[in-house]
Amino acid sequence: MVLAELGGSISRALQQMSNATVIDEKVLNECLNEITRALLQSDVQFKLVRDMQTNIKKIVNLDDLAAGHNKRKIIQHAIFNELCKMLDPGKPSFTPKKGKPSVVMFVGLQGSGKTTTCTKYAYYHQKKGWKPALVCADTFRAGAFDQLKQNATKAKIPFYGSYMESDPVKIAVEGVETFKKENCDLIIVDTSGRHKQEAALFEEMRQVAEATKPDLVIFVMDSSIGQAAFDQAQAFKQSAAVGAVIVTKMDGHAKGGGALSAVAATKSPVIFIGTGEHMDEFEVFDVKPFVSRLLGMGDWSGFMDKIQEVVPKLDNQPELLQKLSEGTFTLRIMYEQFQNLLQMGPLSQLTSMLPGADLMPKGNDKESQAKIKRYMTMMDSMTNEELDSTNTKLITESRIVRIARGSGRLVREVMEMLEEYKRLTKIWSKMKGLKIPKKTDMSPL
């Protein structure tokens, strides 16, 4: 994700400022200029960046800061707040409630990822106990119904559509009525897109909306469109009662900032981001954790969400969290973490959420996963004493040879695994004493 580069540049600017012995006007200006440059390079709209810079300068009046105040912290806080303000236009116009039938209509240009996102949105809610259903009212793009059908079948979500009917309004109405009778509580209507904004598209959107009376209209936007995002978002906003936005393809080479600034300009909040082609590459978008991640502060809430998806009873396993915050890290904990991570799918998703810690070996996901599986095979040949000890000296040369033989791997590979354990122990020790915040009290500064 290129936004990670933006995050990197911003954190570097903050770090440089922190390294300065005295923080004066010059240091502050340098830091702000650096951040401005990074935001502009990421396609954030110029006016927003300029406003942000002015606001920070207004808040941070160096002369007024009494001696003894932590200037760095105040500046950091101001930057954090301004970035949040820029990205937080308030709540979506409507939030569906479980058990109550809601109609959610998806709009966006062709290729933005609308159909894929409809299924991701349905799948996400299904996992949380909702009863979603998908209606394909996209009669414009050949193959749209097949795509939705395929995705819906894979996720075991009921769907409605037609190969014969060419009137999107008729299909939408029939689909919504059918699923209301079946007591579905989240009826998702996928509408047609076009290659570009045109009158016919907006007219069709209006008609479908009038006939199905959606509780929420979600605008799907491709993050790679850069500065064009502003006009596009505004055009959609003017033609449909857009209440929320989902930004897709945040995993790609997109700069992302364009989409985000457009969102700020249209005052519709981003509720999710798409981070890959797969059904579960979909993240809740929360401004504060997102900005803390951008500033390199880590996103505990996203991390905990992922963990809890895989280990739903983690709340009942306080020992692991306890051990994490105590900094106790044994090979057995590493084994358990690997197990969880393998179930969690794409590793990169998770590692980017951790505060500055590249928890997993780098490389593409398949390679990382194969490596982890290899490590686990070797750990399967270890004794309980070895797994539960924090003393690596316990694992002597003869024990290494035994582990290698037992697992059918090379001595060199066992040593590599132990090196990895030592590396992770170092990272873990940095987390010692770290208070893992509850989701409700996310306050990174």
Shortest Å distance, C-beta 116 to ligand GDP? 3
The minimum distance between CB 94 and ligand GDP, in angstroms, equals 22
In the bound complex, what is the minimum distance in angstroms from residue 350's beta carbon to ligand GDP?
Answer: 17
Quickly list DSSP for 325-338: HHT---HHHHHHHH
Nearest CB to ligand GDP, comparing residues 101 and 132 = 132
The answer to whether 143 and 173 have CB atoms below 8 angstroms apart is no
- Looking at the Cβ atoms of 251 and 413, the one nearer to ligand GDP is 251
Nearer to ligand GDP, 260 or 382 (CB): 260
Position closest to ligand GDP via CB: 274
* Nearest by Cα to 356 from 417, 430, 438: 430
State whether residue 309 is helix, strand or coil. Answer: helix
- Give the pairing type, strands 132-137 and 216-222: unpaired
> Please, what is the minimum distance in Å from the beta carbon of residue 375 to ligand GDP?
29
Q: Which is nearer to ligand GDP, 58 or 195 (CB)?
A: 195
* Minimum distance from residue 395 beta carbon to ligand GDP (Å): 42
Considering beta carbons, is residue 112 or 301 the nearer one to ligand GDP? Answer: 112
Q: Which is nearer to ligand GDP, 252 or 355 (CB)?
A: 252
249 or 371: CB nearest ligand GDP: 249
CA distances from 201 to 60, 139, 208 (A): 47, 12, 11
**CB 122, min distance to ligand GDP, A:** 13
Task: Kindly state the smallest distance separating residue 215's Cβ from ligand GDP, in Å.
Answer: 21
Q: Degrees (nearest 5) of the Cα angle 186, 170, 194?
A: 80
Strand arrangement of the beta sheet that strand 242-248 belongs to: 159-160, 132-137, 186-191, 102-107, 216-222, 242-248, 270-274, 282-284
Task: Please report, for residues 318, 373, 386, 398, 420, the alpha-carbon distance to residue 401 in angstroms, rounded to integers and kept in the order given.
Answer: 35, 19, 14, 5, 18
Left (φ > 0), alpha (ψ -120 to 50) or beta: where does 189 sit?
Answer: beta
**CB–CB of 227/258 below 8 Å?**
yes
Residues that bind ligand GDP (CB under 6 A): 108, 110-116, 147, 193, 248-249, 251-252, 274-277
Placement of tokens 């040949």 in the chain: 381
Biggest alpha carbon–alpha carbon distance for the chain? 76
The minimum distance between CB 87 and ligand GDP, in angstroms, equals: 18
Residue with Cβ nearer ligand GDP (73 or 127): 127
Q: Are strands 159-160 and 216-222 parallel, antiparallel or unpaired?
A: unpaired
